[in-house]
Amino acid sequence: MIPIAKPLVGEAEAEAARRPITSGWLTQGPEVAAFEQEFAASVGAAHACAVSNCTTALHLALLAAGVGPGDEVVTVSHSFIATANAIRYGGGIPVFVDIDAVTGNMDPAQVDAAVTSKTRAILCVHQIGMPCDMPALLAVSARRGLPLIEDAACAIGSSIRIGDRWEAIGKPHGDIACFSFHPRKVITTGDGGMITTNNGEFDRKFRLWRQHGMSVPDSVRHGSPTVIFESYPVLGFNYRMTDVQAAIGREQLKRLPGIIESRRRLAARYHEALAAVPGVTPPHEPAWARSNWQSYGVRLADGIDQRRFMQAMLDRGVSTRRGIMNAHLEGAYAHEPWRAGGGLTASEAAQDEVVLLPLYAQMTTDEQDTVVEVLKTVVAELGGA
Ligand SMILES: *Cc1c(COP(=O)(O)O)cnc(C)c1O
């Protein structure tokens, strides 16, 4: 069976996890601080704040942007449901705009029309690692005076060309970017998240909120020669990352360039092998974008049923996943408030027509060739009817 994804972890991570265990300092301590510095340096951000996962990262980012009960946030429905859920945690109302059918990302042309006097922020998603058109989104955010938050859950290692320079997603180009280290993403700490910003005031708030709103972190009290009483000036949360996770993350960050190189090499092989296969359209990477190919999605032609295609692949030993979901079609959003900022036809079509193929850094060319051969067989079988 060829799986859809496989984290690249090994002895280096196991060894690193020993450090906090043997040191006796297990949560949000020196390993978290070091991971934050190394992460910030790797994306070129002034600040990086580690948290428990990307969903909590998004919650804090939206709080920092001032999104409160009844405020609208322009975003996409076509994303993992955590994007919309994070808006609801603070009482915000998601306003869903459609995607560009080619890139699968928020269509900047739709955003402006969706903004009202209630809009408090724009939340874009670098879906499955493909960078959004940031210059276009930044132009809308500047014109409307709205903060731009990037859901970069899947986008560590992706980059975008600004002028004549390639810049990492997470620099950030908007006001705040949020990353995930779930095992389905490109690097992992089991669970975990990171928030990058160049705004020192936002970073200070993230650090306060992630640890119960506590004025003096325990790491500072621990090292102090004088007695310190902490205070709790604001409502905080427990969104800490542990030092065990951070120690693993530091090793993952060392592997990142190699992981990106092999994912991009494999994606290029898929492009080449699938270009002339009738019935499937490979994904498109704009000239100004370099995806980390967190996922590789092909679009099935009209007449090829997604579920039957996926089942036939699975029957032959190849695991796939359907295209990215749409939050507005799920039961949770039959109850939760939201508004459509225009039609959502491209979003709905992408969910039903795209299929994600296996792709992981350690995938062999033999495994990849098997996927391609099986796909050709299945397409011929289903498409020929
Ligand atoms: C995975 C994902 C999230 C959630 O990340 P967690 O770390 O699991 O909370 C949010 N947004 C997008 C686009 C994702 O793919």
126-177 pLDDT, tens digit each: 999 999 999 999 999 999 999 999 999 999 999 999 999 999 999 999 999 9
Average pLDDT over the chain, rounded to whole? 97
Q: With 0-12 CB in 10 A as exposed, 13-18 as middle and 19+ as buried, what is 165? A: exposed
Separation of CA 180 and ligand 1 centre (Å): 6
Residue in 54, 96, 347 to alter for ligand 1 test, most ligand atoms within 8 A of Cβ: 54
Separation of CA 58 and ligand 1 centre (Å): 9
Directed axis angle between helix 365-383 and helix 306-315, to 10°? 130
pLDDT average, residue stretch 65-84? 98
Longest Cα–Cα distance of the chain, Å, equals 79
CA triple 175-181-184, angle to 5 deg:
120
Confidence band, pLDDT 50/70/90 cuts, at residue 221: confident
Separation of CA 169 and ligand 1 centre (Å): 15
pLDDT of residue 325: 97
List pLDDT tens digits, range 267-293: 999 999 999 999 999 999 999 999 999
pLDDT exceeds 90 at position 218: no
pLDDT average, residue stretch 301-320? 97
Instruction: List the structure tokens of 282.
Output: 């490979």
φ/ψ of residue 278, rounded to 5: -70, 145
Q: With 0-12 CB in 10 A as exposed, 13-18 as middle and 19+ as buried, what is 139? A: middle
Percentage, residues of the chain above pLDDT 70: 99
pLDDT of residue 385: 44
Domains of the chain in start order, with CATH, are 11-254 (3.40.640.10), 257-381 (3.90.1150.10)
Whole-prediction pTM: 0.98
Sign, Cα dihedral of 112, 117, 118, 119:
positive
Q: What is the length of the chain? A: 385
pLDDT average, residue stretch 189-195? 98
pLDDT exceeds 80 at position 243: yes
Please report which helix (H) or strand (E) contains residue 371, including its range.
helix 365-383
On the question of a cis peptide bond just before residue 172, with omega within 30 degrees of 0, the verdict is yes
Q: Which residues form ligand 1's pocket by a CB distance below 6 Å?
A: 53-55, 79-80, 82-83, 125, 151, 153-154, 180, 182, 193
pLDDT average, residue stretch 54-64? 98
Confidence band, pLDDT 50/70/90 cuts, at residue 69: very high
pLDDT of residue 384: 52
Residue in 4, 158, 179, 180 to alter for ligand 1 test, most ligand atoms within 8 A of Cβ: 180
